[in-house]
C-alpha cells in the first residue's frame, strides 16, 4: 500500500518518553511503507537518544508558536496526536490549500491506547469542525486498541525476525552487564509506593535477581529507595541476592532488546506496554496516574482484555495503588502462569493488522 502521501503528525510532549515514542514509531512505520512524514513536535530532545540516527522518509520539524507556514506546501493527511490541538494558523493554510487542489481533507485524531469499550464504539467516528479556521472540515477519531473494532497496535513488519535473531548474551556483554545466570528483571516505572516491598521480596527470594534499572525516574526512585533501606534496615539485602545495574538511556530498539533479555519486565505508560506484550515475557504495567483515579478503571479494562489470572490482577492492583492497596502485601511472583497469559494475548493480537496498516487503510477509505 505505497501511496506516497505526505503526512503531518503533530505531537506535544507531556511525558518525554510516551508521547514522542508513539509518534516516532508511527512516523517510521509510515515511512517504511513508502509514505513521507513531517513530525511536528514542541520538544524533540528525547529523539536524541530514542532515535539518534533518525529515519529515512521522516523529517522532524519544530512546532513553534506560531508555526511559520510561509511557502509551506501542505501535506495530504493531518494526524493530531492525543488531542494536542494543531495550531490554527496551520489548519487555516491546510484547509485553503486542500480546497484549492480539489482534494478532500483527511484529519485524524489519534487517541491514547485504551482497552475500554468506548474505544470500540468511538473508533472511526467523524467529528465535524464547526468553528475556527477548520470550519467545514471533519476530524475522525482513531483509537489504538486490543479488539478487532479498534485501530490495533503498533508493530513493525520485521519485529518477529528481529526478535528471532536477538543474541541475549551478546547484548548484555555489550552493555557491560555481568550475567552468571539467575533472574533478570527490568524496571521502567514512575514512583510506585510498593517499590520498597518489591525490593524486599526480591532480596528475600533464594533465586538471585539482577534488576536492570532504566535511566530517569526509575533510577532516581530506586536510588532513593536503596538509600532509605540501607539507613533504616542495613541487613535488608544481607545475602546480596538482589543486585542492580543502572542502564544508560536506551534507543527504541535497545528498549526492545532489554525486554527480550529479561525474565520479567516492569513497564509504564502506553508505548512500553505494547512493547512488553510483543516481547512475550511476563510483565507488570504501571498505568499513567490521573488525579481523579480514572486510570484505575482503564487498568481493569486492560486486565480484562488480557484475561489476567487472579495473581496478576492482584499484583497490578498493589503496584498501581488501586483503592489504596499499595499498603497491602505484594503477591508472590507467578511467572509461569503470567507467561501463559502473555503468550495467549500476544498470539491473539498477532492475528490482527497492525496500527500503521490500519491507519493507512483508514486514510485511503476516507480520501
Cβ-in-10-Å burial (0-12, 13-18, 19+) of 119 comes to: buried
Closest CA to 110 of 27, 42, 181: 27
Active site residue 19: yes
Radius of gyration of the chain (CA): 22
Tracing cell 514509531 back to the chain, one arrives at 25
Closest CA to 314 of 298, 294, 338, 295: 338
Active site residue 354: no
The catalytically annotated residue of 35, 256, 270, 271 is 270
- Distance from chain centroid for Cα 276: 9
Closest CA to 107 of 95, 122, 119, 120: 95
* Distance of alpha carbon 238 from alpha carbon 258, whole angstroms: 27
C-alpha pair distances (Å), 298 with each of 117, 184, 281, 293, 303: 10, 29, 22, 9, 9
The catalytically annotated residue of 8, 19, 197, 256 is 19
Q: Supply the residues annotated as catalytic.
A: 19, 270
Amino acid at each position: 500500500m505505497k501511496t506516497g502521501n505526505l503526512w503531518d503528525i503533530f505531537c506535544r510532549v507531556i511525558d518525554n518518553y510516551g508521547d514522542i515514542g508513539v509518534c516516532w514509531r508511527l512516523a517510521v512505520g509510515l515511512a517504511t511503507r513508502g509514505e513521507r512524514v513531517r513530525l511536528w513536535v514542541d520538544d524533540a530532545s528525547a529523539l536524541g537518544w530514542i532515535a539518534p540516527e533518525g529515519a529515512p522518509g521522516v523529517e522532524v520539524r519544530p512546532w513553534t508558536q506560531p508555526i511559520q507556514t510561509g511557502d509551506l506546501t501542505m501535506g495530504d493527511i493531518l494526524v493530531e496526536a492525543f488531542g494536542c490541538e494543531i495550531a490554527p494558523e496551520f489548519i487555516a493554510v491546510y484547509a485553503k490549500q486542500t480546497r484549492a487542489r480539489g482534494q478532500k481533507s483527511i484529519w485524524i485524531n489519534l487517541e491514547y491506547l485504551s482497552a475500554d469499550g468506548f474505544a470500540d464504539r468511538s473508533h472511526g467516528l467523524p467529528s465535524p469542525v464547526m468553528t475556527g479556521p477548520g470550519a467545514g472540515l471533519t476530524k475522525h477519531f482513531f483509537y489504538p486498541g486490543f479488539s478487532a473494532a479498534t485501530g490495533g497496535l503498533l508493530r513493525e513488519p520485521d519485529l518477529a525476525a528481529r526478535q528471532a535473531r536477538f543474541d541475549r548474551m551478546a547484548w548484555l556483554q555489550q552493555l557491560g552487564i555481568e550475567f552468571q545466570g539467575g533472574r533478570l528483571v527490568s524496571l521502567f516505572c514512575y514512583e510506585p509506593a510498593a517499590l520498597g516491598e518489591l525490593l524486599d521480596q526480591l532480596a528475600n527470594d533464594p533465586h538471585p535477581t539482577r534488576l536492570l534499572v532504566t535511566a530517569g525516574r526509575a533510577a532516581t526512585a530506586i536510588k532513593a529507595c536503596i538509600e532509605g533501606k540501607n539507613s533504616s534496615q542495613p541487613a535488608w539485602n544481607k545475602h546480596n541476592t538482589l543486585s542492580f545495574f543502572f542502564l544508560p538511556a536506551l534507543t527504541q530498539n535497545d528498549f526492545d532488546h532489554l525486554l527480550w533479555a529479561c525474565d520479567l519486565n516492569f513497564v509504564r505508560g502506553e508505548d512500553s506496554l505494547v512493547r512488553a506484550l510483543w516481547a512475550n515475557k511476563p510483565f507488570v504495567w504501571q498505568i499513567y496516574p490521573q488525579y481523579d483515579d480514572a486510570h484505575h478503571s482503564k487498568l481493569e479494562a486492560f486486565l480484562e482484555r488480557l484475561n489476567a489470572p487472579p495473581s496478576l490482577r492482584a499484583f497490578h492492583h498493589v503496584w498501581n495503588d488501586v483503592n489504596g492497596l499499595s499498603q497491602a502485601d505484594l503477591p508472590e511472583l507467578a511467572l509461569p502462569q503470567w507467561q501463559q497469559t502473555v503468550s495467549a494475548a500476544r498470539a491473539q493480537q498477532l492475528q490482527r493488522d497492525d496500527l500503521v496498516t490500519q491507519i493507512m487503510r483508514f486514510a485511503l477509505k476516507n480520501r
